[in-house]
Amino acid sequence: MNITIFGSGYVGLVTGACMAEMGNNVVCVDIDEDKIRRLNAGDVPIYEPGLDDYLHRNREAGRLEFTTDVAKGVDHGLFQFIAVGTPPDEDGSADLKHVLAVARSIGQNMNDYRIVVDKSTVPVGTADQVGAAMQEELNKRDAAHEFDVVSNPEFLKEGAAISDFMKPDRIVVGTDNPRTTELLRALYEPFNRNHDRMITMDVRSAELTKYAANAMLATKISFMNELANIAELVGADIEHVRVGMGSDPRIGYHFIYPGAGYGGSCFPKDVRALAKSAAGNGYSASLMEAVEEVNNRQKNRLFEKISTHYGSNLEGKTVALWGLSFKPKTDDMREASSRVLMESLWEAGATVRAYDPEAMDETRRLYPDVAGLTLCESAQDTLDGADLLAIATEWQEFRSPDFNLVKQKLTDPVIFDGRNLYDPALMATLGIAYYGIGRGRSVKDFSYHGPDRRNGKRSADLQITDKA
């Protein structure tokens, strides 16, 4: 099939690459000339595992094209996907100016029946606005071309987007026209071979489904962070609590990991937009407001722990920071907890030596002239001259470091772990002060002095060797 995708950002690129991978002819349109130039030169502007290969292979095969020519894009595809950004407006609502600009462009250039697919995350009622904008442009031309507007929200996880698109757990399609439903079913049939994953509904329900899914996941995270803070006060370990909770099949283990708060391009924006949408309809979404409040507070927890440990005197301290992206397997730093931590540390007079496997270029873009920031080539390099270690992102390479080296290099052997990567008992054994999220008392308050069954040594004397 012929498909046009407006927007060559995260959603647009993944959608275009995966649609082309299945043999469709895809044209991606974007008004950003520099981005299109880079894409045509083989330079992918975002990091997503596997995306480079998909884009290169399908460009070479002639199934995927990037252009700034709007008219060409409208003429090309029966399916016109809108995958542009919906950034939060000043009041927290979703800004639809880019979505409606695309709708007007389609209305100005279409000369035949088109199916317009809202792939962007948009508030309920956006499809009606898109249709109205298109019809207005058609009326100006005295044109009578038919069209349908469909809601087909994306459910892609950054870091696993290719897999999510190629092997979806659900394909939500909101349409009010049975003919359009069958055309969308045919489009998605290659992704639907194992069993029918397509869920059809009315347009407004589909629009709300995406917000509902993200808000639910964000709620689970904030709930666990709230519990983690309670656990610290009462001397419990939230990791034990998490396992006990997750064993209940009604709860499960997904998205119940406490940490330093959620970030990224979706959860923060969508929770605010849903609350704003509710307010616009005369309803106060108190739970959504609480979810955001808890998350904003949680992003300050690492700094609060560091500040408390040093008696609120961080002037001249150097912090080794592992992880800058809001989650692993992405370079996205939008609303990342690392940013809140770094900015608080700088304000308190501390400096930061940071490393992230993928987000270094994005950090340079966001903080080009910060004297208190040194970007290092590896996690180990951040420890040189550092007083303490903080962890903001749970990249795999941070999970099993050389703790003896960490202890040796840090002026103060202390770790502030925003993702609960390490075992507090092991840290106590190694003589490293450890502050996790919701891990009860600091490990300085308790230790185990029983025998090490492997060699009879007291556990307090245990050292991790290269051979071990």
**Hey, which residues are catalytic here?**
266
Among 426, 427, 449, 424, residue whose Cα is nearest residue 439 = 424
- Beta strands at 64-67 and 388-391: parallel, antiparallel or unpaired: unpaired
Beta strands (DSSP E) in 259-336 are: 318-322
Helix, strand or coil, per DSSP, at residue 441 = coil
Q: What are the φ and ψ backbone dihedral angles of 68, each rounded to 5 degrees? A: -100, 0
Q: CA 117, CA 82: separation in Å to the nearest integer? A: 6
Residue 334 has what DSSP assignment?
T
- 321 forms beta bridges with 354, 390
- Ranges of beta strands (E only) in 119-223 are 147-151, 171-174, 198-201
* Cβ atoms of 329 and 288 closer than 8 Å: no
Which residue intervals of 397-437 are DSSP H helices?
A: 403-409, 424-430
Helix (H, G, I), strand (E, B), or coil: what is residue 55? helix
Closest CA to 175 of 226, 111, 115: 115
Q: CA distances (Å), 392 to each of 106, 239, 332, in order?
A: 43, 17, 13
Closest residue by Cα to residue 210 from 119, 149, 297, 289: 119
The strand pair at 79-82 and 114-118 is best described as parallel
